[in-house]
Amino acid sequence: MPTDSADPSRRDQILDAAERLFAGQGFARTTIKQIGRAAGVNSALLYYYFADKDQLYREVLQRFVARLVARTMSGSAGGGPPDARLRAFVEAQAQTLAEHPDAPRLLAREMIDYDAAHAVEQIQHLSVTGFRRLCDLIDEGQRAGIFRDDLDPRFAAISTIAQVGWFFVARPAVRILLKQGPDGPSDDVIQAFGRHAADFAVAALTAPAGRAGATARRSTRARSRTS
């Protein structure tokens, strides 16, 4: 099985079809024959390019995450004050997911179904890049005195990212709540939510430290900020 070497077209053709199908119906329900048909080739050919179904799936995920990381990273590189950069980060995230509607499904399913076993390195990479960048951003804002410093940056990063992530994963519920059509929220609504999420996060982080926790104990910070 000459899995490597150079034949872009056919190979990518198969990967494209596989990506669509895996994203749409998951690993188990997608058959080799479906993929072959969708790619316009005989299903046996898949075994010329890939060792088995599992390997094909892994390569789909890898290619996918790599693209996603590239896209996300390029979007939030600029300078400026931490709150503006955080805002840019969140809006870029919404933008990216709106352009790749398969992404949340594919990744969330992988995490849920296989505990990310097919793409540990990829998911790690995403965590180490995306999450980490956010953490650093928040930490920086805290040290600059712009953000309240009684929040754990890692918790805050999860809360920030969660908004847009959940918006896409819980699509059926969101659709009902927002009374959107069967295709899910329109681009307008997605963009509006992206702005809202950025707003929400910045507001939570810039709130005066003493004010919000009237009922509650101070500091949900559990650990060192070096993370």
Partner DNA sequence: GTCTATAGGTGGATAGAC
Partner DNA sequence: GTCTATCCACCTATAGAC
Structure tokens at 164: 């847009």
Structure tokens at 157: 């990063």
Residues 69-88 close enough to bind DNA by CB under 7 A: none
- Measured on CA atoms in the order 217, 134, 132, 185, is the torsion positive or negative? positive
Residues 58-117 close enough to bind a copy of itself by CB under 8 A: 83-84, 87, 105, 108-109, 111-113, 115-116
Q: Pick from DNA, a copy of itself, none: which does 45 bind, CB < 5 to 8 A by kind?
A: DNA
Q: Pick from DNA, a copy of itself, none: which does 7 bind, CB < 5 to 8 A by kind?
A: DNA
Cα–Cα separations (whole angstroms), residue 37 to 41, 49, 60, 61, 63 = 6, 16, 17, 20, 21
Residue 5 in the binding site for DNA (CB under 7 A): yes
Q: Read off the amino acid at residue 4.
A: D
**CB closer to DNA out of 48 and 166:** 48
What is the closest distance, in whole angstroms, from the C-beta atom of residue 2 to a copy of itself in the complex? 31
What is the closest distance, in whole angstroms, from the C-beta atom of residue 18 to DNA in the complex? 11
The contact mask relative to DNA for 165-204 (x = CB under 7 A, - = no) is: ----------------------------------------
Give the list of residues 6+ apart from residue 170 with CB closer than 8 angstroms, or none: none
Which of 18, 21, 23, 30 contacts DNA by CB under 7 A?
30
**CB closer to DNA out of 43 and 129:** 43
Q: State the virtual CA torsion across 76, 154, 217, 163 in degrees, nearest 10.
A: 60
Residue 195 in the binding site for a copy of itself (CB under 8 A): yes
Residue 109 in the binding site for DNA (CB under 7 A): no
Residue 44 in the binding site for a copy of itself (CB under 8 A): no
Q: Read off the amino acid at residue 193.
A: F
Which of 3, 24, 54, 124 contacts DNA by CB under 7 A?
54
In terms of Cβ atoms closer than 10 Å to its own Cβ (0-12, 13-18, 19+), residue 215 is exposed
Give the rounded distance of the alpha carbon of 37 from its chain centre.
29
Structure tokens at 214: 């009237």
